[in-house]
């Protein structure tokens, strides 16, 4: 039902928070990469999920394959690259509680996926293809991702995009904005957070700020920007608002669904969990013969509820992949 393409890596998560990343002494290791998290999320929610990407021929690559397999993700599209290392990321919360990242991805496996290696059969038989902008920051992964989107689209798949903007991976702000907007125009459904929306729509917006339009009371500004985004191509946009929930919009409708009140332990991965919940509802809609453009009222509400519930449950547990919830937990929280 859902196929992801793109970054797959090992996250080294700093145990000591509040220090600059270079001073952190202890890290825990976890399987990660946005698109990989999303398909594990989909599989946990009972959906059929697959992954296309590359890992190195090393212990990290083996671990990643095992984690995907154990979660029931189809790994026929996961290629092992004998000449490259698996991509690594070090991350820790600095003194401002903002995550700081160091990427080890120069020439690493997931950046080396090439258009010739794409598994055509798998690509042309999925209901949804999901990607993020991280794989667009370097060649040949960029061409491979765009080619995969083209193939899946031609085969009639729905294209899902999470900008997941990591500014340090782009040469400059302008190219980040331009490339992400281009990718967005290829997508049917997009999920992004408030600061990404601000960055894409307002040239003067300070990037990666935690500024919340919602908290500032300027919901109109947010809605206006989301409409502008909808006019650039996607037919459905979900703007996540942290503990304020989500705004789900089409050109015809907008629905705000408040977040579930939970005891928060760790919010990392909330966005990926939301995406997984949202995609599961879209799979249901597609199975019932609904097109994205035709989704309204109850469906939009269901997307917001399932996305919020999956995300909220993830916030109650540490880590990302291990924290992603099962279908029954989400249904219990949503109350269906
Ligand atoms: P990201 O993590 O990608 O920056 P957000 O912070 O907007 O995205 O969070 C994504 C989703 O996670 C929100 O739409 C909401 O459903 C859920 N979420 C985030 N923080 C909380 C929280 N404190 N309580 C409950 N749900 C939350």
Is residue 37 within 8 Å of residue 11, measured between CB atoms? no
| Angstrom distance (rounded) from CA 182 to CA 193 | 18
Is residue 137 within 8 Å of residue 170, measured between CB atoms? yes
Angle (CA) 4-291-33 rounded to 5° is 15
ipTM of the complex model: 0.99
| Angstrom distance (rounded) from CA 306 to CA 301 | 9
Which residues is 101 bridged to in the sheet?
Answer: 91
Walk along the chain (336 residues) and give the pLDDT tens digit of each residue: 999 999 999 999 998 778 888 899 999 999 999 999 999 999 999 999 999 999 999 999 999 999 999 999 999 999 999 999 999 999 998 887 777 889 999 999 999 999 999 999 999 999 999 999 999 999 999 999 999 999 999 999 999 999 999 888 999 989 999 999 999 999 999 999 988 998 888 776 665 555 566 655 677 888 888 999 999 999 999 999 999 999 999 999 999 999 999 999 989 999 999 999 999 999 999 999 988 878 888 999 999 999 999 999 999 999 899 999 999 999 999 996
Ligand 1 site, residue 71, Cβ cutoff 6 A:
no
CATH number of domain containing 322:
3.40.1190.20
Q: Give the pLDDT of residue 334.
A: 96
Helices (H), the chain: 34-44, 59-70, 120-123, 141-154, 173-184, 194-201, 219-230, 270-287, 297-315, 327-334
Query: Atom 6, ligand 1: which residue's CA is nearest?
Result: 242
Is residue 283 within 8 Å of residue 306, measured between CB atoms? no
The candidate with the shortest Cα–Cα distance to 202, out of 233, 172, 181, is 181
Q: Give the pLDDT of residue 154.
A: 96
Q: Give the pLDDT of residue 218.
A: 74
Query: Atom 2, ligand 1: which residue's CA is nearest?
Result: 271
Q: Can you give the residue range of the structural domain that contains 312?
A: 2-334
Ligand 1 site, residue 310, Cβ cutoff 6 A:
no
H/E segment holding residue 207: none
Number of structural domains (the chain) is: 1
Ligand 1 site, residue 242, Cβ cutoff 6 A:
yes
Report the separation in Å between the CA atom of 210 and the middle of ligand 1, taken as the mean of its atom positions.
12
Which residues is 159 bridged to in the sheet?
Answer: 129
| Angstrom distance (rounded) from CA 246 to CA 28 | 31
Pick the atom of ligand 1 nearest to 196's CA.
4
Report the separation in Å between the CA atom of 239 and the middle of ligand 1, taken as the mean of its atom positions.
10
Q: Give the pLDDT of residue 216.
A: 58
Q: Give the pLDDT of residue 28.
A: 93
Whether pTM exceeds 0.90:
yes
Ligand 1 site, residue 330, Cβ cutoff 6 A:
no
Q: Give the pLDDT of residue 207.
A: 58
Q: Give the pLDDT of residue 201.
A: 85
């Amino acid at each position: 039902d859902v196929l992801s393409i793109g970054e797959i890596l090992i996250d080294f998560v700093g145990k000591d928070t509040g220090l600059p990343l270079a001073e952190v002494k202890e890290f825990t290791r976890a399987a990660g990469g946005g698109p990989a998290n999303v398909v594990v999320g989909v599989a946990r929610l009972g959906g059929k999920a697959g992954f296309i990407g590359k890992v190195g021929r090393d212990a990290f690559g083996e671990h990643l394959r095992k984690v995907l397999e154990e979660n029931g993700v189809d790994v026929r599209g996961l290629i092992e690259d004998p000449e490259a290392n698996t991509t690594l990321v070090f991350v820790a919360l600095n003194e401002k509680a903002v995550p700081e990242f160091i990427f080890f991805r120069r020439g690493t496996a997931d950046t080396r996926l090439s258009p010739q290696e794409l598994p055509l059969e798998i690509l042309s038989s999925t209901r949804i293809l999901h990607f993020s902008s991280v794989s667009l920051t370097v060649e040949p992964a960029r061409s491979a991702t765009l080619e995969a989107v083209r193939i899946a689209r031609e085969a009639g798949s729905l294209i899902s995009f999470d900008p997941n903007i990591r500014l340090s991976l782009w040469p400059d702000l302008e190219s980040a904005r331009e490339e992400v907007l281009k990718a967005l125009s290829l997508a049917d459904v997009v999920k992004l957070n408030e600061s990404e929306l601000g960055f894409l729509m307002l040239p003067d917006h300070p990037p990666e700020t935690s500024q919340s339009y919602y908290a500032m009371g300027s919901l109109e500004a947010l809605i206006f920007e989301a409409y502008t985004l909808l006019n650039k191509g996607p037919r459905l946009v979900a703007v996540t608002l942290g503990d304020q929930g989500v705004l789900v919009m089409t050109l015809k409708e907008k629905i705000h669904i408040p977040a579930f009140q939970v005891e928060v332990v760790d919010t990392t991965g909330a966005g990926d969990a939301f995406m997984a919940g949202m995609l599961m509802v879209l799979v249901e809609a597609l199975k019932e013969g609904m097109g994205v453009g035709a989704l309204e009222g109850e469906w939009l509400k269901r997307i917001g509820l399932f996305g919020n519930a999956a995300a909220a449950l993830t916030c109650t547990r540490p880590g990302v992949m291990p924290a992603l919830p099962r279908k029954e937990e989400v249904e219990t929280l949503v109350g269906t």
